Structure 1
Amino acid sequence: MTAWNTSAFGRFARREWGPLFWTVRDALVRDRWRAIPMTIGAVCLTSVFQIVQNTSWGFQPVQNLGSVKAVDPFWLALLRTPLSLFVPALDLPVWGALAQVLLVFGISEICIGWWRTLVIGYVATLAGTTYARIGLALGPDHPLGLPVSDRIVNDTGPSAAVVGLAVYVCWRYRAYLTGALLVLVMIGEVLVKNNLAGKEHLAAIAAVMVLCAVRAKWGPERSRTPLGKGPSQPDTRPE
């Protein structure tokens, strides 16, 4: 029975994570840190913003460049969004943001390419920013609404982009169970701690799922080969 369980889990693991694992492993073995230059740049930028915003002279400039709040005009939020993704949230440990960027952005950059990673990350982030304004308009009595106090919540950091990218990569590599578990965890987050960040994560997931549906219907046929390195990229190992 134990051998059967081990074998069954092994088949599941190869099916669920095998292509993704070998894609990431082969890229890192072959190119090492050169496989994720955009991700390394994002980690460095996030670190610089963290250092600067914790100085007496740097806090306000960082806020002016990358702080997004629902009370701000939408055009201003759009201008600040590109940098807001790399401004760590003030109430969370910076190592969490750095780890999220390094892990999820790195995997995404290898698997789908740097520009797709940025596009999907920004789509997810903008979905959260847009939802904040819709939620405030709906009001606290609506199931999807937000309290007025969320108007001044500092809405920065990579978490919405990370969640959106994780869902997209799971869909791209057919790791459906992993993607479904991630969605359930985000739903559980909202049920346990009903705050702006949790609901923005769900908005990011919804936006990325729309992208997946559009690509499935009108895009090229999906495979489990990496998109990031062009036609010369070797295929992933067989399952």
Structure 2
Amino acid sequence: MSRSGVRGFVRREWGPLFGTVRAALAARGWRAVPMTLTAVCLTALFQLVQNQDWGYQPVQAIGSVRAEDPLWLSLLRTPLSLFVPALDLPVWGALAQILLVFGIAEICLGRWRTLAVAYLATLAGTLYARLGIALGPDGPLGLPASDARVVDTGPSAAVVGLAVYVCWRLRARWTGALVVLAMVVEVIVKPNLAGKEHLAAIAAVLVLIAVRRGWDRRRRGPGQDDEEPRPGTRSWKPPITS
């Protein structure tokens, strides 16, 4: 591919995303992403508290999810589990994921839609863990019984789900496909609970996208363009976040 072809591809793939984010940050600065900043601070706070002798158990009590727990308790803890970083991973990774992906999503989708997609992806991963353990370790979708005791927290499933949804929303199709491919490779190389939960999150978001496309098609009626206006075009209207 020639240099001009590469530039054209980059402009088509990431131009709308870059333009939308740049315009929002230029107009409002960090005020454009208040939910994202709150999530970053909450995650940092949970990390600080759970590493104290007195703080580990309280954080586990309000944000720790395990497949062996009663379903009602897992559902009750799921909202905060998204912001409790995994103890065996560096916290800066979780903070960077939230700042980058949640920030872009908040600007491009709006605050409440971002939260809805993030929690859908997280909930899909939480429910999949129970299904996978019920299926057992022999099938490709199954999990060993020992995974029922694994503490399942952190923003990774939400980040993956949001990345796929934002790529669809801004028509960065190649980037979205690359995210999905990376998650598939992750499961092939290391078939653990986290990797399979990422695929469950992607599956849930793809179902959401299909439902949204069908609803938009019915709303517009036959013969109308079934695609939403592309960010950066005249018909594009940025989400209202305040």
Q: Give TM class, smaller chain.
A: over 0.9
Q: Which of 199, 202, 222 is the aligned partner of 2:228?
A: 222
Mapped partners of 1:42, 1:227: distance in 2: 22
Q: 4+ runs of 1 displaced by more than 3 Å?
A: none
What is the TM-score with the length of structure 1 in the denominator?
Answer: 0.93
Alignment partner, residue 21 of structure 1: 18
Q: What is the Cα deviation at residue 224 of structure 1? A: 2.3
Provide the C-alpha distance between the structure 1 equivalents of 2:229 and 2:50, rounded to a whole number of angstroms.
42
Secondary structure of 2:2's match? helix
Q: What TM-score results when the alignment is normalised by the length of structure 2? A: 0.92
Query: Which one has more relative contact order, counting CA pairs under 8 Å at least 6 apart?
Result: 1
RMSD: 1.1
Residue deviations 1:54-105, cap 9 Å, x none? 0010100000000000000111000000000000001100000000000000
Give the aligned partner of residue 152 of structure 1.
Answer: 149
The match for 1:73 is 70
Rate the CA distance shift 1:131–1:227 in 2: closer, same or farther, 3 A.
farther
Match of 1:237 in 2: none
Distance 2:159 2:167 in 1: 12
Q: Show structure 2 runs of 5+ residues with no match.
A: 220-226, 232-236
Contact 1:172 1:223 in 2 (8 A): no
Separation (CA, whole Å) in 2 of partners of 1:116 and 1:227: 13
Deviation readout 1:8-54 (Å, 9 max, x if unpaired): 01111111111111000111111110000000000000000000000
The C-alpha deviation readout for 1:184-208, integer Å capped at 9, x for no partner, is 0000000001100000000000000
Determine if the alignment matches structure 1 residue 33 to structure 2 residue 33.
no
Is 1:85–1:158's contact at 8 Å kept on the other side of the alignment? yes
User: What is residue 174 of structure 2 aligned with on the other side?
Assistant: 177
Alignment partners' CA distance in 2, 1:133 and 1:200: 11
* 2: CA distance, partners of 1:66 / 1:159: 15
- For residue 228 of structure 1, report the CA deviation from its aligned partner: 2.4
How many matched pairs? 227
